């Protein structure tokens, strides 16, 4: 082999490339001239030129595509009783032949599976059973299987021989929309029949959909399906490899299959949605240059809408709606069954579908079908209505800042309270019937609670910021001009009944309750640490709905409705994150609210007053608040962009922005200055993710894992976090390694874990927990496991945004007791003592080496840090916290370094835009 140097290769390449640009006949002469005086170079170039001509087919196909196995059977050979006529085609799952069955004098199709397939008896038996089950369906839209056999270990399937082409081939020519819908309808019927037997296809795509002559569509390859009760489904570990994801084409797989989760009937409906979309649009809804991108698109992107005009389709919007519903990311948001879809498609095609061939049971079946049809009709009407017109959005607020609430007036104008360009709240009106110009309504320092039918305002005169939100005096005032009348103190939410009475959420001693009328307690949340907002009285005044949040300082929760006739309370929605705002529908049958099922994928949800499944009305990539619904169906929604930054202030007062992504919030600081923080914005897939970074601006952050980080061990090696827990389950704890190592989970054991701090030994920690039926206390726990040990009496107040404060020697912990005061508890032995002379409302943040506590008050108008000697109890202002006032919502969490020299706080700025939306259903 000649030792070519890179430089030489480069020269040869340049000459060769130039030569290849000119006609072949002149190439050799060109090379001769170009290499004049360098015989070696000339020889090399000429040799490569020669090989270029010979290499036309060399490596021309990627290695995987050259790997077609040869046909194993020749024409005229026999397979069992069958005579092979000719090979028809080959695919990943075997070769297909046309064969003759002399016993019945008919031609059949035979699919010969790879020999390796025959090595696994269990798998083979399962395959045979399923193939037979599907084949025996004898459904016109499913390929009929005649026989199943084995030859030299290689299994084969004998089926009816179809003449026609696969849908893949058919799609090489554009398909009319009518034909596309007719095909999809047949596929849906075939799927429906299989699903009824518990057989899921799992790999539906144009390659295994066959369009036979005459336009009858058949689903092939049900052999890949897995019976739900097959033993393999329970085989540990076998599940993922059996999930079928590998064998499917990424472009047709459902999101759950892409995530390698089990596939169900809804997965087939998704795949059918993709096929239908492709038939209508000529391209798949989720595409990418490669399968990696395609899978990402399947998981994250919405399908682009179909054309607004489709010849022959009476209601293209409804068809688009149906396709989009097939393509819903969540299986339970798709059509409930393939049969429902078939019925809907039938109506959309605008003509009666060909009748199914009748069989013996026809009369009975017709009766059943009639009932099913009635049931489906309701669904159909709903679907058609929903897809009728796209919603339109009209912006009604225009300045920079935060909108706290917006309501329609009786005449359909919009009133809202906002803090524009700074911290002061004010009241404004936008006339949607007129110029859309915003008019200030005076009333400085008032926030809007509600507008009555007679256009009376319920206002909040804010007094303090608590974990229940802003709490203040409730005042009523006329919309136009006139004095304010104070009605109650300590109110965090309020609404008017249709007959002009006020309902309010009042917060006293850290607990929320609903009063209706004011002064009469209607409802107290079962969890003392929870809170209530989004309070709304129903249009005819017979019920009150609200958002119930079981954990303070956490917007997760659900919708509860209290019936005023018998005061019975009922939870009517699923559990959601980021719940913001609620409004009754004008008919009073249900409520709409803004919430996220996961992450920041906000949506407006509709919950029925009598329960049942929630319905997604619309989804958005922003935080949203459901503000109000007007009687004409217009909806007010506020969208919020939320930025949480992380500001470190050093000993000399220098502030550094250490934000990493869009929602960085400090959670702990280790003695060496490492910062544990959380991200929870658009950059995260889960609710919270844990990160670690250094204190200087240029140090990169490391992602530790999923979960809300709580505490960093003093050596910086381990973080304690709340992993994402299933809805309704108590929060557990996990240990995340900051370097190499495996993460570890601690079982929740019925205790909701809401905060943690390491003890100095690095082998045990303190956590805040709520055991079943008890109020909160602090516990000590070894990382080696074992039962937790209660170190405080029940009745501790701890918020997620606050740290657990352990003394430097680890012997004591400072906690807020239920009366709002600070007490010192021993972690092992000794007597608890309260901090004397200290008024309630302080939250400890750090225990300094000099024995002083750094504290904060969440309710101060001018936020600052305080220092305090726990023996004397006289707090001294220590540092003022400053931040950009525009849209400033919050400055917490705050953490102080263990040496009490620097601190980090997390200002959250919210910028809101409110829209009036028509066309949401």
Partner 1 sequence: MVTPRGPGAEVRGPAEASELAALLYRELRRVAAACMRGERPNHTLQPTALVNEAYLRLAAQHQAAWGDRVQFLSVAAHLMREILVDYARTRNRAKRGGGIAPVCVEDAGELAAAPDVNLIELDEALDALERVDRQQRQIVELRYFGGLSIEETAHALGVSPATVKRDWRVARAWLHRELSRNAVHQS
The residues carrying an active-site annotation are: 203
- At 39 the three-state DSSP class reads helix
In whole angstroms, how close is the CB of 745 to partner 1 at the nearest point? 15
In whole angstroms, how close is the CB of 108 to partner 1 at the nearest point? 24
Considering only the stretches 42-50, 178-186, 465-473, 772-780, report the one whose residues sit in contact with partner 1 under the rule CB under 8 A: 42-50
17 makes contact with partner 1 (CB under 8 A): yes
Handedness of CA 618, 624, 626, 630 (dihedral sign): negative
Return the number of the residue (66 or 876) whose C-beta is nearest partner 1. 66
Handedness of CA 304, 308, 313, 318 (dihedral sign): positive
Burial of 901 (0-12, 13-18, 19+ CB in 10 A): middle
What are the structure tokens assigned to 444, written together?
């400085």
What are the structure tokens assigned to 304, written together?
């682009």
Measured CA to CA, the distance from residue 443 to residue 460 in angstroms comes to: 11
55 makes contact with partner 1 (CB under 8 A): yes
In whole angstroms, how close is the CB of 200 to partner 1 at the nearest point? 17
Which member of 13, 351, 453, 567 binds partner 1 (CB under 8 A)? 13
Measured CA to CA, the distance from residue 686 to residue 721 in angstroms comes to: 13
In whole angstroms, how close is the CB of 11 to partner 1 at the nearest point? 10
Ranges within 263-302 binding partner 1 (CB under 8 A): 288-293, 295-296
DSSP assignment of 97-154 equals EEEEETTTTEEEEEEEPPGGGGG-HHHHHHHHHHHHHHHTT--TTBPPEEEEEEETTE
In whole angstroms, how close is the CB of 66 to partner 1 at the nearest point? 4
Q: Give 718-725 contacts, CB < 8 A, sequence gap 24+.
A: 718/762, 718/783, 719/668, 719/676, 719/690, 719/692, 720/756, 720/758, 720/765, 720/767, 721/688, 721/690, 722/688, 722/753, 722/754, 724/686, 724/687, 724/688
Return the number of the residue (69 or 836) whose C-beta is nearest partner 1. 69
Return the number of the residue (599 or 832) whose C-beta is nearest partner 1. 599
Ranges within 103-122 binding partner 1 (CB under 8 A): 114, 116-120
Asked if residue 720 lies in contact with residue 756, where contact means CB atoms within 8 angstroms, the answer is yes
In whole angstroms, how close is the CB of 6 to partner 1 at the nearest point? 5
Return the number of the residue (221 or 689) whose C-beta is nearest partner 1. 689
Which member of 25, 59, 371, 654 binds partner 1 (CB under 8 A)? 59
> What residue has token string 């640490």?
529
Considering only the stretches 6-14, 393-401, 569-577, 712-720, report the one whose residues sit in contact with partner 1 under the rule CB under 8 A: 6-14
Return the number of the residue (4 or 568) whose C-beta is nearest partner 1. 4
In whole angstroms, how close is the CB of 117 to partner 1 at the nearest point? 6
Return the number of the residue (66 or 234) whose C-beta is nearest partner 1. 66
Considering only the stretches 34-42, 46-54, 328-336, 528-536, report the one whose residues sit in contact with partner 1 under the rule CB under 8 A: 46-54
Which member of 9, 616, 763, 871 binds partner 1 (CB under 8 A)? 9
Beta strands in 539-631 (DSSP E): 543-549, 558-563, 569-571, 577-584, 590-596, 602-608, 615-620, 623-629
Ranges within 208-247 binding partner 1 (CB under 8 A): 240-241, 245-247
Asked if residue 552 lies in contact with residue 541, where contact means CB atoms within 8 angstroms, the answer is no
Cis-peptide, bond into residue 517, ω within 30° of zero: yes
Instruction: Go through 572-591 and write b for each residue having 16 or more CB atoms within 10 A of its CB, e for each that does not.
Output: bbebbbbbbbbbbbeeeebb
22 makes contact with partner 1 (CB under 8 A): no
Ranges within 475-504 binding partner 1 (CB under 8 A): none
Q: Say if strands 78-79 and 903-905 run parallel, antiparallel, or are unpaired.
A: unpaired
What are the structure tokens assigned to 461, written together?
């005169």
Query: Which residues face 816 on adjacent strands?
Result: 797, 822
702 makes contact with partner 1 (CB under 8 A): no
Asked if residue 319 lies in contact with residue 310, where contact means CB atoms within 8 angstroms, the answer is yes
703 makes contact with partner 1 (CB under 8 A): yes
Binding track, positions 67-106, relative to partner 1; x by CB under 8 A: x-x----------------------x--------------
Considering only the stretches 25-33, 65-73, 103-111, 417-425, report the one whose residues sit in contact with partner 1 under the rule CB under 8 A: 65-73
258 makes contact with partner 1 (CB under 8 A): yes
Cα–Cα nearest to 860, from 876, 846, 844, 880:
880
Q: Which residues contact 265 (CB under 8 A, 6 or more apart)?
A: 191, 195, 200, 337, 338
Measured CA to CA, the distance from residue 417 to residue 443 in angstroms comes to: 10
Measured CA to CA, the distance from residue 333 to residue 669 in angstroms comes to: 43
In whole angstroms, how close is the CB of 62 to partner 1 at the nearest point? 4
> What residue has token string 């012997």?
811
Count CB-CB contacts under 10 A for residue 25: 7
Return the number of the residue (41 or 886) whose C-beta is nearest partner 1. 41
Return the number of the residue (61 or 454) whose C-beta is nearest partner 1. 61
In whole angstroms, how close is the CB of 754 to partner 1 at the nearest point? 26
Angstrom distances, CA of residue 416 to CA of 176, 469, 908: 50, 18, 21
Return the number of the residue (21 or 36) whose C-beta is nearest partner 1. 21
Considering only the stretches 7-15, 211-219, 575-583, 893-901, report the one whose residues sit in contact with partner 1 under the rule CB under 8 A: 7-15
Q: Give 612-621 contacts, CB < 8 A, sequence gap 24+.
A: 613/332, 614/573, 614/574, 616/333, 617/592, 617/920, 617/921, 618/391, 618/917, 618/920, 621/682
Return the number of the residue (52 or 207) whose C-beta is nearest partner 1. 52
35 makes contact with partner 1 (CB under 8 A): no
- At 294 the three-state DSSP class reads helix
Return the number of the residue (116 or 308) whose C-beta is nearest partner 1. 116
What are the structure tokens assigned to 840, written together?
């309630």
Considering only the stretches 34-42, 47-55, 384-392, 896-904, report the one whose residues sit in contact with partner 1 under the rule CB under 8 A: 47-55
Cα–Cα nearest to 161, from 116, 95, 96, 223:
96
Which member of 98, 100, 123, 789 binds partner 1 (CB under 8 A)? 123
Return the number of the residue (56 or 308) whose C-beta is nearest partner 1. 56
Which member of 206, 250, 273, 810 binds partner 1 (CB under 8 A)? 250
Which member of 23, 39, 62, 378 binds partner 1 (CB under 8 A)? 62
Which member of 23, 37, 39, 58 binds partner 1 (CB under 8 A)? 58
Q: Judged by CB under 8 A, how many residues of this single chain contact partner 1?
A: 57
Ranges within 672-701 binding partner 1 (CB under 8 A): 684-685, 689
Question: Binding residues for partner 1, per CB under 8 A?
Answer: 1, 4-10, 13, 16-17, 20, 47-49, 51-52, 54-55, 58-59, 62-67, 69, 92, 114, 116-120, 123, 240-241, 245-247, 250, 258-260, 288-293, 295-296, 684-685, 689, 703
């Amino acid at each position: 082999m000649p030792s070519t140097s890179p430089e030489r290769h480069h020269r040869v390449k340049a000459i060769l490339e130039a030569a290849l640009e000119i006609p072949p006949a002149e190439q050799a002469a060109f090379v001769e001239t170009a290499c004049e005086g360098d015989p070696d170079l000339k020889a090399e170039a000429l040799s490569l030129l020669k090989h270029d001509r010979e290499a036309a087919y060399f490596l021309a196909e990627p290695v995987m595509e050259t790997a077609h196995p040869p046909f194993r059977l020749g024409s005229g050979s026999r397979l069992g009783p069958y005579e092979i006529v000719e090979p028809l085609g080959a695919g990943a799952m075997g070769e297909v032949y046309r064969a003759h069955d002399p016993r019945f004098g008919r031609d059949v199709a035979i699919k010969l599976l790879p020999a390796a397939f025959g090595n696994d008896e269990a798998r083979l038996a399962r395959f045979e059973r399923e193939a037979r089950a599907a084949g025996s369906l004898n459904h016109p839209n499913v390929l009929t299987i005649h026989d199943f056999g084995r030859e030299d270990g290689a299994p084969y399937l004998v089926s009816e021989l179809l003449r026609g082409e696969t849908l893949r081939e058919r799609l090489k020519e554009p398909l009319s929309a009518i034909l596309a819908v007719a095909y999809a309808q047949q596929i849906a019927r075939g799927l429906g029949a299989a699903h009824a037997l518990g057989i899921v296809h799992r790999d539906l795509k144009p390659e295994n959909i066959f369009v036979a002559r005459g336009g009858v569509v058949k689903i092939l390859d049900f052999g890949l399906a897995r019976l739900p009760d097959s033993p393999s489904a329970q085989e540990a570990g076998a599940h993922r490899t059996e999930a079928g994801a590998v064998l499917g084409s990424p472009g047709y797989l459902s999101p759950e299959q892409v995530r390698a989760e089990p596939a169900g009937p809804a997965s087939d409906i998704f795949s059918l949605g993709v096929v239908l979309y492709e038939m209508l649009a000529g391209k798949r809804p989720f595409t990418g240059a490669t399968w990696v991108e395609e899978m990402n698109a399947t998981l994250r992107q919405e399908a682009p809408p179909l054309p607004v005009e489709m010849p022959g389709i009476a209601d293209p919007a409804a068809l688009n709606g149906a396709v989009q519903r097939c393509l819903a990311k969540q299986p339970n948001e798709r059509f409930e069954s393939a049969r429902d879809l078939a019925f809907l498609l039938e109506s959309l095609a605008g003509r009666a579908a060909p009748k199914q061939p009748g069989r013996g049971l026809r009369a009975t079946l017709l009766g059943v079908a009639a009932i099913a049809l009635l049931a489906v009709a309701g669904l159909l009407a709903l679907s058609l209505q929903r897809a009728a017109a796209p919603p339109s959005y009209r912006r009604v607020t225009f300045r920079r800042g935060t909108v706290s609430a917006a309501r329609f007036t009786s005449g359909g104008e919009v009133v809202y309270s906002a803090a524009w360009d700074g911290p002061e709240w004010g009241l404004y009106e936008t006339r949607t019937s007129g110029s859309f110009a915003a008019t200030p309504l005076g009333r400085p320092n008032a926030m809007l609670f509600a507008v009555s039918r007679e256009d009376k305002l319920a206002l909040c005169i804010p007094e303090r910021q608590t974990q229940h939100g802003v709490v203040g005096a409730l005042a009523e005032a006329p919309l136009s001009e006139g004095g304010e009348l104070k009605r109650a103190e300590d109110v965090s939410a309020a609404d008017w009944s249709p007959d002009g009475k006020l309902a309010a959420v009042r917060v006293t001693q850290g607990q929320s309750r609903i009063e209706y009328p004011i002064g009469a307690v209607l409802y107290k949340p079962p969890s003392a640490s929870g809170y209530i907002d989004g309070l709304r009285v129903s249009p005819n005044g017979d019920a009150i709905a609200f958002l119930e949040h079981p954990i303070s300082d956490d917007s997760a929760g659900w919708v509860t409705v209290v019936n005023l006739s018998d005061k019975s309370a009922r939870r009517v929605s699923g559990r959601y994150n980021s719940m913001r705002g609620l409004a009754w529908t004008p008919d009073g049958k249900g409520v709409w609210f803004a919430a996220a099922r996961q992450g920041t994928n906000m949506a407006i949800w509709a919950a029925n007053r009598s329960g049942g499944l929630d319905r997604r009305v619309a989804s958005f990539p922003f935080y949203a608040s459901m503000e109000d619904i007007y009687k004409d169906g217009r909806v007010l929604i506020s969208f919020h962009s939320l930025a949480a930054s992380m500001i470190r202030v050093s000993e000399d007062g220098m502030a550094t922005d250490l934000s990493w992504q869009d929602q960085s919030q400090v959670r702990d600081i280790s003695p060496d200055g490492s910062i544990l923080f959380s991200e929870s914005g658009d950059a995260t897939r889960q609710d919270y993710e844990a990160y670690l970074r250094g204190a200087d601006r240029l140090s990169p952050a490391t992602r530790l894992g999923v979960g809300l980080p709580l505490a960093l061990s003093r050596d910086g090696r381990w973080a304690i976090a709340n992993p994402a827990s299933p809805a309704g389950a108590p929060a557990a704890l996990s240990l995340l390694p900051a370097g190499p190592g495996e993460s570890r989970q601690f079982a929740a054991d019925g205790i909701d874990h809401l905060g943690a701090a390491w003890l100095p030994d690095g082998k045990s920690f303190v956590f805040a927990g709520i055991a079943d039926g008890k109020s909160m206390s602090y516990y000590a726990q070894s990382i080696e496991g074992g039962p937790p040990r209660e170190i405080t009496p029940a009745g501790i107040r701890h918020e997620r945004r606050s740290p657990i404060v352990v003394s430097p020697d680890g012997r004591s912990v400072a906690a807020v007791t239920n009366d709002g005061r600070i007490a010192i508890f021993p972690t092992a032995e000794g007597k608890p003592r309260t901090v004397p002379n200290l008024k309630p409302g302080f939250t400890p943040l750090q225990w300094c080496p000099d024995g002083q506590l750094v504290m904060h008050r969440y309710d101060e108008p001018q936020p600052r840090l305080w220092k305090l000697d726990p023996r004397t109890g006289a707090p001294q202002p220590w540092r003022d916290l400053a931040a950009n006032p525009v849209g400033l919502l919050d400055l917490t969490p705050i953490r102080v370094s263990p040496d009490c020299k620097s601190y980090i706080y997390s200002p959250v700025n919210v910028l809101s835009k409110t829209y009036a939306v028509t066309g949401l259903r």
